[in-house]
Structure 1
Amino acid sequence: MRIRQVGFSQRLKAHKKLLTLETLKFIVEYLKDGDARMAALRSGVPENYASKQGSWLKKHPIVLAALETEVDPREQLRLEKAIAEINRQMETCKEILGLQEY
């Protein structure tokens, strides 16, 4: 049995109605300046794919729905704090499970 690793865009295509952490990070970053490439870079997409992924992500149904919502600067700050908290919790989980290098 062969296990094939699923790429970033394939995972998103498979989960059009599922909000992933990668997609959430992209949305928060895209709301800052509207630059899809830079938002992709800041959200963790490798530089080689940032332009293509950013362009693809901004057409994703969940991203489009999120961008239709008016987000004021206070809500933007809340989103950024929530992402920071999620990242802290992920690090705690990695530490507990001995997965620091992942």
Structure 2
Amino acid sequence: MRIRQVGFSSRLKAHRKILTLETLKFIAEFRKDGDARLAAFRSGVPENYASKQGQWLKKHPIVLASHEAELDERELLKLHKAIAEIDRQMEICKELLGLEDF
């Protein structure tokens, strides 16, 4: 009996409906100006990968679904504040676990 290792594309398909912090940051940044490369860079992707990652992320099902929601300025501000709070909580967790360098 042979056990088949799950390939990269299969893992991507499995995670199509999982919202990650990185994807959430990209969505918030992409809504600012619609530039996928800049949105990826501003959301934390290294500059040399931002273009490719931005093009991939803007086709992601969660990103596409998020653009169907019409948000006003107040809701966008609330989204950015929520992301900042998540970042703050992540830093607290890293500190508690001794993962400041990661």
TM-score by length of 2: 0.86
| 1:36 correspondence with 2:36 | yes
Which residue identity does 1:34 align to in structure 2? G
One-letter identity of the residue aligned with 2:27 = I
Deviation at 1:41, TM superposition (A): 0.2
Relative distance call for 1:11 and 1:36 in structure 2 (3 A) is farther
The number of residue pairs the alignment matches comes to 95
* 1:20–1:67 Cα change, 3 Å: same
2:3 aligns with none
Q: Where does structure 2 lack aligned partners over 5 or more consecutive residues?
A: 1-7
Moved over 3 A (4+): 9-14
Alpha-carbon RMSD across the aligned residues, in angstroms, is 1.8
| Structure 1 residue runs without a partner (length 5+) | 1-6
Report sequence identity in percent.
Answer: 75
Higher radius of gyration, 1 or 2: 2
What whole-Å deviation, never above 9, does each CA across 1:52-100 have from its counterpart, x for those lacking one? 1101110100000001110111000000000000000000001111111
Q: Which residue of 1 aligns with 2:68?
A: 68
Alignment of 1:6-25 (within 5 A): 12-25=12-25
Counterparts of 2:24 and 2:11 in 1: how far apart (Å)? 14
Amino acid at match of 2:43: S
Q: Which residue of 2 aligns with 1:59?
A: 59
Distance 1:34 1:91, change over 3 A: same
